[in-house]
Amino acid sequence: MKLYDSRRAPNPRRVRWFMAEKGIEDIEIVDVDLFKGEHRTPDYLTRAGAANVPALEIDDETTITESVAICRYLESLYPEPNFFGRDPKETAVIEMWARRVELMVAMPLMMAVRHGHPRLAALETQVPEVAAANRAWADRAMKMLNRRLAQSEFIACDRVTMADILAATSIDFARMVQFKPAEEMEHVHRWLEAMMVRPAASAGT
């Protein structure tokens, strides 16, 4: 298998973090330079089907894009430690929180960075109002996470799961535009500190 990766984007970091947590080291890593447009070449588009990273090439016929789909596939091959749920109830709760994080935390923060960081103007036409609106949405989402983390050590259950990896990588990525949870989000800060000292956090950068 080959993982088409980029250190410049947040979604590939999710997969790197996930692999580090599981100790997966037998997948070839291929770096894709986004600023050189390597994700838009005919060869890459034929292989991946879309100009997205990460992409996991399983064999000559199958390449998976979308970070969560890649992690789900890898979990089926490397089932422990578990990040997607051990029984139907836990699986549903993790899926619920992962979806909330994707829509209310990850997407707004990615849009805030894409439309707010000067260097990314080379990749798309930036709209400052888009950056501001998404940043405000993410601030509201921090309140939701803070309420949840007042009740639970981690987002979905009593251990790190995919929901935590999604949230931590997104919040850390948003440092590019000086985003950080408000000081009164004490439970978010406690959780984020715990996530960022995990060995996999540095492996994912």
Q: Is residue 101 part of a domain?
A: yes
For residue range 120-149, list pLDDT tens digits in order: 877 778 899 999 999 999 999 999 999 999
Do both 114 and 52 map to the same domain? no
The residues near 199 (Cβ < 8 Å, ≥ 6 apart) are 20
Residue 205 pLDDT:
62
136 and 54 part of one domain = no
Q: What SS3 string covers 81-111?
A: CCCCCCCHHHHHHHHHHHHHHHHHHHHHHHH
Count of the separate structural domains present in the chain: 2
pLDDT digits over 155-191, tens only? 999 999 999 999 999 999 999 999 999 999 999 999 9
Same domain, 92 and 129: yes
- Please write the tens of the pLDDT for every residue from 142-161: 999 999 999 999 999 999 99
Q: What is the pTM assigned to this prediction?
A: 0.93
Whether residue 181 is found in the same domain as residue 95: yes
Residue 36 lies inside a defined structural domain of this protein: yes
Domain end point (choices 32, 49, 77): 77
58, 77, 96 — which closes off a domain? 77
Give per-residue pLDDT as tens, 2-19: 999 998 788 999 999 999
With respect to residue 82, please indicate whether it lies within any of the assigned structural domains: no
24 lies in some domain: yes
Mean pLDDT across the stretch 94-110? 97
CA 8 to chain centre: 12
Q: Of 44, 77, 110, which residue is a domain's last?
A: 77
In a domain, 83, yes or no: no
Which domain, by its residues, includes 10? 2-77
What pLDDT shows up at residue 118? 82
**Do residues 56 and 97 share a domain?**
no
pLDDT digit string, tens, across residues 40-75: 999 999 988 999 899 999 988 899 999 999 999 999
Examine residue 131 and state whether it is found in any structural domain, yes or no: yes
